[in-house]
Amino acid sequence: MGVHAKQAGAVAAGLTIPTLVLADWGINMPAGVTATSNDIYGLHMTILWICIAIGAVVFGVMFWSIFAHRKSKGHKPAHFHEHPLVEVVWTVIPLLILVIMAIPATATLVDMYDTTESDIDIKVTGYQWKWHYDYIDEEFGFFSALTTPRDQIYNRTAKGEHYLLEVDNEMVIPVGKKVRLLLTANDVIHSWWVPEFGVKKDAIPGFINEAWTRVDVPGVYRGQCTELCGKDHAFMPIVVRAVPEAEYLAWVDEQKAAAETERELTQKDWTMAELMERGEGVYARACAACHQADGSGLPPAFPALKASALVTGPADGHLEVVVNGVSGTAMQAFGGQLSEADLAAVITYERNAWGNNTGDMVTPKQVFDFKNQ
């Protein structure tokens, strides 16, 4: 059933109590760094104060009755049980309050839905359990996955400052520009949320949702997936770095160059050792969440790769599953997610790790040919 007790409470407490001292006692929504998030914060505070005011009146009358109209004080019950005027008044007043509240809410909502005239478009794709950012005007893209080590999650080492809210590749945007996000998902529904932006939108397979943001203050902003998406739902954070435009443009050039280098890797002549080394890294990033670091999987949903008939069988069968996925299961088609070099490396790694020693080597060229056959 997957339950097994971890460390004794004492060990856990020893590791976590020092961090508790650092934790702050945030009790309210952040006002955030965009016009939208500030509008939302304003609505939130308005409706909160309206509720507090109504609550004060209603509970005030109630506590007065509890205090003053007790039988133990000899209070005799009155006999009234209806009053048409009062009943009309307390129907109409709430209605008016709601109308007053609906007006600014409508204005904010219409503004949030206006995704036209964007400066930059980024396609955001949710995967189990990482995000992919595709800068569609610039022709590069990358995955962004959690970097918090498992030792911290399992309380074997002290937790870092940005525990569970840190990633390998941050999404970078320029300040002061309208960024349009096109959200979709590859497997199940995810939801992309950065509280400081006031942006939360579901990423749904088969749909492209739109959202936008314009960040005015440079900085690093952190959020999380907010739609239950399977076992590692808690472990796919979002980190956005907002930088001045010049810095952004330099970063874009860097990314484009890196993408070009990556494409050239397909043509390179690889040795077995190189592929194994690269494959181990790719496996940890793309495969280990389900098939586990030691290839033992989590059957029946996620089969073992260690001593698996498919992985130790003919290479074409293995390529087929990794490149095209298995429809109707959680096995994704990695053909579009990973480069040829990464696919070749990870397949080579799987065929030779954990005692699978098939001795086979799959090269990026083979993968390229397989994809184009």
Partner 1 sequence: MSAVIDDHTQEHDHGPAGGITRWLLTTNHKDIGTMYLIFSFSMFLLGGTFAMVIRAELFYPGLQIVEPEFFNQMTTMHGLVMVFGAVMPAFVGLANWMIPLMIGAPDMALPRMNNWSFWLLPCAFLILVSTLFMSGGGPNFGWTFYAPLSTTYGPPSTTFFIFAIHIMGVSSIMGAINVIATVLNLRAPGMTLMKMPLFVWTWLITAFLLIAVMPVLAGVVTMMLMDINFGTSFFDASGGGDPVLFQHVFWFFGHPEVYIMILPAFGAVSQIIPAFSRKRLFGYASMVYATGAIALLSFLVWAHHMFTVGIPVAGQLFFMYATMLIAVPTGVKVFNWVATMFRGALTFEAPMLFAIAFVILFTIGGFSGLMLAISPADFQYHDTYFVVAHFHYVLVPGAIFGIFASAYYWLPKWTGYMYDESLAKAHFWMSFIGMNLAFFPMHFLGLAGMPRRIPDYALQFADFNMISSIGAFMFGATQILFLLIVVKCARGGVAAAAKPWEGAEGLEWTVPSPAPYHTFTTPPVVE
Q: How far is the CB of 122 from partner 1 (least distance, A)?
A: 17
Check binding of 227 to partner 1 (CB under 8 A).
yes
* 43 binds partner 1 per the rule CB under 8 A: yes
CB of 256 to partner 1, least distance (A): 31
Peptide bond into 354 cis (omega under 30): no
> Restricting to residues 51-80, which ones interact with partner 1 according to CB under 8 A?
51, 54-55, 58-59, 61-62, 64-66, 69-72, 75-80
Closest contact distance (angstroms) between CB of 275 and partner 1 is 31
Write out the two tokens for 230.
């399977």
Per-residue binding letters, 331-370, with partner 1 (x by CB under 8 A): ----------------------------------------
* Residue 238 contacts partner 1 per CB under 8 A: no
Q: How far is the CB of 179 from partner 1 (least distance, A)?
A: 16
CB of 368 to partner 1, least distance (A): 25
* Contact set for partner 1, span 101-120 (CB under 8 A): 101-102, 105-106, 108-110, 112-113
Q: How far is the CB of 352 from partner 1 (least distance, A)?
A: 29
Contact criterion met (CB below 8 Å) for 346 and 285: no
Residues 148-167 that bind partner 1 (CB under 8 A): 152-155, 159, 161-165
Q: What is the secondary structure of 280-306 as a DSSP string?
A: HHHHHHHTHHHH-TTS--BTTTB---T
Integer CA distances (angstroms), 246 to 214, 251, 304, 352, in order: 16, 9, 48, 46
Whole-angstrom Cα distance, residue 145 to residue 170? 9
Applying CB under 8 A, among 10, 27, 103, 246 the residue interacting with partner 1 is 27
Q: In sequence order, what are the beta bridge partners of 144?
A: 131
Residues 278-337 that bind partner 1 (CB under 8 A): 298-301, 327-330
Q: CA-CA distance, 126 to 202, in Å (whole number)?
A: 9
Shortest Cβ 321–partner 1 spacing (Å): 16
3-state secondary structure of 184: strand
Residues 29/44, Cβ–Cβ less than 8 Å: yes
String of contacts with partner 1 for each residue 122-141, x by CB under 8 A: ------x-------------
Query: Does position 85 bind partner 1 by CB under 8 A?
Result: no
Does residue 35 interact with partner 1 by CB under 8 A?
Answer: no
Tokens (6 digits) for 356 = 């699978």
- By the rule CB under 8 A, 170 interacts with partner 1: no
| Run of H or E including 41 | helix 35-68
d(CA 146, CA 129): 9
Asked whether 343 and 323 are in contact (CB, 8 A), the reply is: yes
Which of 38, 147, 169, 226 contacts partner 1 by CB under 8 A?
226
Residue 299 phi/psi, 5-degree rounding, is -60, 150
| Binding positions for partner 1, 256-275, rule CB under 8 A | none
18 touching partner 1, by CB under 8 A = no
* Residue 246 interacting with partner 1 (CB under 8 A): no
Comparison of 72 and 372: residue with beta carbon closer to partner 1:
72
> Cα(29)–Cα(41) distance, rounded to whole angstroms?
7
Nearer to partner 1, 249 or 330 (CB): 330
The answer to the question of residue 31 lying near partner 1 (CB under 8 A) is: no
In DSSP notation, 102-151 reads HHHHHHHHHHHT---S-SEEEEEEEETTEEEEEETTTTEEEEE-B---HH
Out of 122, 124, 229, 343, which residue is the one contacting partner 1 (CB under 8 A)?
229
